[in-house]
Amino acid sequence: MPEPFYITTPIYYVNDVPHIGHAYTTVAADVLARWHRLLGQEVFFLTGLDEHGQKVQQAAAKAGIAPQEHCDRLTPQFQTLWQKLDVSNDGFIRTTDARHQAVVQRFLRQLHDAGLIYRAEYTGWYCTFDERFWTEKDVDAGRCPDCHRPVEQLSEINYFFRMSRFQQRLLDHLDANPAFIRPESRRNEVLGFLQKPLEDLSISRPKSRLSWGIELPFDTDYVTYVWFDALVNYVSALEYLPAQPSIDRLWPATVHLVGKDILTTHAVYWTTMLMAMEIPLPRTIFAHGWWTVDGEKMSKSRGNVIDPYAVVDQFGADAFRYFMLREIPFGQDGDFSRESLIGRINADLANGLGNLLSRTVTLIQRCCQGMVPAPDPSAMTELDTGLQAAAEALIHTTMPQHLRRMEFNRTLEATWGLVQLGNQYIDKTAPWVLAKDPAATPRLRTVLFHAAETLRFLCLAAYPFMPQTAEEMARQLGLGLDFSQALLKAPIVWGGASGATVVKGKALFPRVEAVATPSPAKPQPEAAAPLAQDEDSRIGIQDFQKVELKVAKVLTAERVPKSNKLLKLQVDIGSEQRQIVAGIGKKYGPEDVVGKTIVVVANLKPAKLMGVESQGMVLAAGDAEVQGLVTFEDQELEPGTRVK
Ligand code: ME8
């Protein structure tokens, strides 16, 4: 039996509703959970809420309700979001659960009895926001070195965990286990942090200052520091949550996924706590990067917090999941903008994957009575074997390699490499041309089989990232795939799509017009400096990618009556024939352009010119007067080939 895969997210504070940052970590964990289930591993995926501490107490006070009521009101906001995002967590923990509190108290007593918790007076600089003390040398001009809010001097009797005792053991562990903290840059941060002597950790708060917490079992005047309470969730959950998780079977956790903001609490506090409790350490702590919005830190005061509910309602869960994991390498910081999201939806999802599925299903319906044909070995070419090899390499080699390293964006890049190859394959093999020649039937059947089979592999590759899309693809392809099964436990074998009855369905991803609502209200700077003219009119690559440029072959041309400027062209753009009205008639006559290989904009909304419908636009040089048509003179290019 392979080792179980136990993955956790941070447990989020319930001081406010969830935002895209919380969704990011949770979706990333979900992708790994789904992937490992496909591989046939036992998976336990834990998420939950951190309900104690000052932040929650303050939020409840602001709302004028008791802290527990505040937590109970906010909990569904997280749980419903996870449902909307198709998060498949096995466990959901709340730290106000009496069973979790009992485990925390047991650990506290154990450490106290072992002399690893002691009482002492401490004077230091306290940051209310971060709920922690800083020493004189840490404080930066009266401000917290972490959040930069003002700190206040406090002298207090508290209980301390002898964290300093474990510094060398932690260094030794880091040394012996290079993959313990990932990525490498974060490991180096922790090593840097451990260059300074490690101090003991205050693990209590006097009730006179903060009452919302778990009472210390050995002093009822105190509650437990929220981080000591919260971190214990990763093991307490295994003791009592439903679905019979078991600490013996599941611990040590395979991976704690966290944001870079809480690296130290996990890499130093949690690991030393575990050492003190004589519990083995997790295999990996992975700290990912930080999302900003339109280049700015996300914050309530800036009014730019992105509501994941609104994004999912507008664009769907899968588009959001895809974008978050495709846009930036996991581990690095990234910027969220509606423009980039829409760019990805149109370019990768609608024009890429959606187009591949829709043209394949349409062609199978049109040419093979809706049934995926079997290939004819005598009609095979290198194009087919190349496509098969690429699909097999993706599922059996590239995906496992990248996902082992949590390289989500590279996994998706590789997957979309296959999507592109699939679309190019259809462009090159031109099944609509083969369909016209009865002698080409064996080739036609072979081509359509390969396109459908590639999509079957793509279903499996897409599933961890985009579960709804994978289900819909499987449905349209007529594949009875049950994704709750360990479909990749044994290598999947090329050939399974033949015989399936395809069902044409709605577009996987309708194109999104970019003019929708702007990013959430962002206060405008009072006197924004005007942008330089050229800077203002520049576009990003995503804008350019929205324009679908394709190679086309001019089949026929004639003048539009009563116009000396317009020519009516019939062009082959690979997937279909189009009528395009072009304003090139002063420079060219119909006889000049027939047979030419030109470039057209294929995704322009149809328009009427002098009463004649035009379903696209040709590219030509010149301003008011056309000076030359963009053509490919000496290359044999297939109609439909993408121009970038
Ligand atoms: O820290 N970009 O909870 P929290 C990326 N309760 N990820 C982000 C993000 C952003 N802008 N904002 C939040 C806590 N996150 C503690 C954790 S664990 C035992 C206790 C994600 O509600 C990221 O995972 O402040 C980050 O670490 C976490 O939310 C912080 O959530």
Neighbours of 248 (CB within 10 A): 6
Round the average pLDDT of the chain to a whole number and report it.
Answer: 91
**Distance of alpha carbon 13 from alpha carbon 67, whole angstroms:** 12
Hey, what are 141's tokens? Answer: 């001009």
Report which DSSP code applies to 386: H
**Are 204 and 159 in contact, with CB atoms under 8 Å apart?**
yes
Q: What is the per-residue pLDDT for 206?
A: 95
pLDDT at position 243 is: 66
Q: For ligand 1, say whether the CB of 21 is within 6 Å of any of its atoms.
A: yes
What's the confidence (pLDDT) of residue 514?
A: 66
| DSSP reduced 3-state for 30 | helix
Model confidence at 395, pLDDT cuts 50, 70, 90, reads very high
- 225 C-beta closer than 6 A to ligand 1: no
Q: State yes or no: pLDDT of 212 exceeds 80.
A: yes
Q: What sign has the CA pseudo-torsion 91, 93, 98, 103? A: positive
By most ligand atoms within 8 Å of CB, the mutation choice from 19, 24, 27, 271 for ligand 1 is 24
User: pLDDT value at position 28?
Assistant: 98
Which strands sit side by side in the sheet containing 291-293, from one edge to the other? 296-297, 291-293, 334-336
- Count other C-beta atoms under 10 Å from residue 596's C-beta: 19
- Number of H helices and E strands in the chain, helices first, is 24, 26
Mutate to test the pocket of ligand 1, among 15, 17, 22 (most ligand atoms within 8 A of CB): 22
Q: How far is the CA of 16 from the centre of ligand 1 (A)?
A: 12
Q: Is the CB of 258 under 6 A from ligand 1?
A: yes
Task: Specify the residue for token string 């539009």.
Answer: 560
Residue nearest to atom 23 of ligand 1 (CA): 259
Helix/strand/coil for 5: strand
120 vs 127, which has greater pLDDT?
Answer: 120
Q: Are 303 and 520 in contact (CB under 8 A)?
A: yes
Share of the chain above pLDDT 70, in %: 95
Report which of residues 122 and 576 the model is more confident about: 122
| 443 has pLDDT over 60 | yes
CB 262 near ligand 1, within 6 Å: yes
Sign (positive or negative) of CA dihedral 620, 621, 627, 630: negative
Greater pLDDT, 260 or 572? 260
Q: What pLDDT is stored for residue 430 in this prediction?
A: 95
Ligand 1 and 218: CB distance under 6 A:
no
* CA 23–ligand 1 middle distance (angstroms): 10
* Domain 540-643 bears CATH identifier 2.40.50.140: yes
| 258 SS3 class | strand
Q: What's the average model confidence in pLDDT over 358-387?
A: 96
What b/e string do you get for 357-387 counting C-beta neighbours within 10 Å, with b at 16 or more? Answer: bbbbbebbeebbeebbbebeeebbeebbeeb
Residue 234 has pLDDT above 80, yes or no: yes
- Residue type present at position 611: G
User: Ligand 1 in contact with 259 (CB < 6 A)?
Assistant: yes
395 near 492, Cβ under 8 Å? yes
Determine the distance separating the centroid of ligand 1 and the alpha carbon of 259, expressed in angstroms.
6
Picking from 10, 426, 335, 52, the residue whose alpha carbon sits closest to that of residue 205 is 52
Residue 585's pLDDT band, with cuts at 50, 70 and 90, is confident
Q: Which of 16-30, 509-523, 563-577, 590-604 has the highest mean pLDDT?
A: 16-30
pLDDT at 78: 98
Three-state DSSP class for residue 14: coil
Residue 617 parent element (H or E): strand 617-618
pLDDT digits (tens, 9 = 90+) for 492-547: 999 999 999 999 999 999 999 865 444 444 333 333 333 333 334 566 776 787 78
Upper half-sphere CA count for residue 412 (Cβ side, 13 Å): 27
Model pTM? 0.81
Q: Tell me, what's the pLDDT at 241? A: 86
Q: Say if ligand 1 is within 6 A of residue 134 CB.
A: no
Summarize the confidence of residues 239-250 as an average pLDDT. 81
Distance CA 368, CA 444 (A): 9
401 token code pair: 């390699």
Q: Which helix (H) or strand (E) element contains residue 541?
A: helix 541-545
Q: What pLDDT does residue 3 have?
A: 87
| CA 256 to ligand 1 center in whole angstroms | 12
Name the residue at shortest CA distance from atom 27 of ligand 1: 259
Q: What is the per-residue pLDDT for 467? A: 98
- Looking at residue 22, its pLDDT comes to 97
Asked whether the beta carbons of 347 and 355 are under 8 A apart, the reply is no
**96-119 pLDDT, tens per residue?**
999 999 999 999 999 999 999 999
Task: Identify the residue whose tokens are 């994991």.
Answer: 325
The CA 144 to ligand 1 mean position distance, Å, reads 19
**Domains of the chain by residue range:** 5-288, 336-477, 540-643
Contact 124, 134 (CB under 8 A): yes
Buried b (16+ CB within 10 A) or exposed e, 437-447: eeebbbbbbbb
Report the separation in Å between the CA atom of 86 and the middle of ligand 1, taken as the mean of its atom positions.
19
Cβ of 334 less than 6 Å from ligand 1: no
Query: What whole-number distance in Å separates Cα of residue 191 and Cα of residue 185?
Result: 10
Give the distance (Å) from ligand 1 centre to CA of residue 13. Answer: 8
Residue 303 pLDDT grade (very low, low, confident, very high; cuts 50, 70, 90) = confident
| Least confident window among 205-209, 429-433, 473-477, 625-629 | 625-629
Which is the closest atom of ligand 1 to the Cα of 290?
A: 2
Assigned architecture for domain 5-288: 3-Layer(aba) Sandwich (3.40)
CA angle 454, 460, 462 (to 5 degrees): 95
Atom of ligand 1 nearest to the CA of 292: 11
Residue 54: which of 207, 236, 266 has the closest Cα? 207
460-464, 479-483, 509-513: least confidently modelled range = 509-513
Q: Which residues contact 153 (CB under 8 A, 6 or more apart)?
A: 123, 124, 125, 126
Q: In ligand 1, which atom is closest to the CA atom of 25?
A: 24
Residue of 345, 352, 354 whose CA lies nearest to 516: 345
Kind of pairing, strands 181-182 and 334-336? unpaired
Task: With cut-offs at 50, 70 and 90, classify the pLDDT of residue 572.
Answer: confident
Select from 335, 315, 326 the least CA-distant residue to 85.
315
Percent of the chain with pLDDT over 90: 74
Q: Could you say which DSSP state residue 519 is in?
A: S
Which element (helix H / strand E) includes 22?
A: helix 20-38
**Dist. CA 331 → ligand 1 center (Å):** 14
Token pair listed for 89: 């967590």
Closest-lying ligand 1 atom to the alpha carbon of residue 10 = 18
Longest dimension (CA), the chain: 99
Q: Are the C-beta atoms of residues 633 and 627 closer than 8 Å to each other? A: no
Query: Looking at per-residue confidence, does 212 or 590 come out higher?
Result: 212
The pLDDT of residue 538: 65
How remote is the CA of residue 290 from the centroid of ligand 1, in Å? 9
SS percent in the chain: helix, strand, coil, step 5: 40, 20, 35
d(CA 82, CA 118): 40
Give the residue, 130 or 199, on which the prediction is more confident.
199
Domain at 336-477, CATH class: mainly alpha
Q: Tell me the chain's radius of gyration from C-alpha atoms.
A: 30
Q: β-strands 334-336, 291-293: how paired?
A: parallel
Residue-wise pLDDT for 163-197, tens only, equals: 999 999 999 999 999 999 999 999 999 999 999 99
Whether the Cβ atoms of residue 140 and residue 182 lie closer than 8 Å to each other: no
Give the residue whose CA is nearest to atom 18 of ligand 1: 10
pLDDT band at 134 (very low <50, low <70, confident <90, very high): confident
Instruction: Assign 335 a pLDDT band (cuts: 50, 70, 90).
Output: very high
pLDDT at residue 146, as a whole number: 84
Q: At what angle do helices 467-476 and 355-368 cross, to 10 degrees?
A: 10
pLDDT confidence tier of residue 300, bands split at 50, 70 and 90: confident
Ligand 1 centre to CA of 131 (Å) is: 15
- The per-residue pLDDT for 197 is 94
Mutation to probe ligand 1, out of 19, 30, 47, 50 (largest number of atoms < 8 A from CB):
50
Query: Is pLDDT of 279 > 70?
Result: yes
Asked whether 11 lines ligand 1 (CB < 6 A), one says yes
Mutational pocket test of ligand 1: of 8, 12, 26, the residue with most ligand atoms within 8 Å of the beta carbon? 12
Which of 15, 25, 82 for mutating ligand 1's site (highest number of atoms within 8 Å of CB)?
A: 25
Instruction: Supply the residue whose CA is at minimum distance from atom 13 of ligand 1.
Output: 21
On the CB side of 309, CA atoms within 13 Å amount to 8
Taking only the tens place, the pLDDT of each residue in 41-71 is 999 999 999 999 999 999 999 999 999 999 9
Find out whether the beta carbon of 18 lies less than 6 Å from any atom of ligand 1. Answer: no
Report residue 233: phi and psi, to 5°.
-55, -35
Backbone angles phi, psi at 281, to 5 degrees: -85, 155
Which of the pair, 2 or 281, is modelled with greater confidence? 281
Q: How far is the CA of 375 from the centre of ligand 1 (A)?
A: 51
Cα 245 from Cα 89, distance rounded (Å): 13
Any atom of ligand 1 within 6 Å of the Cβ of 231: yes
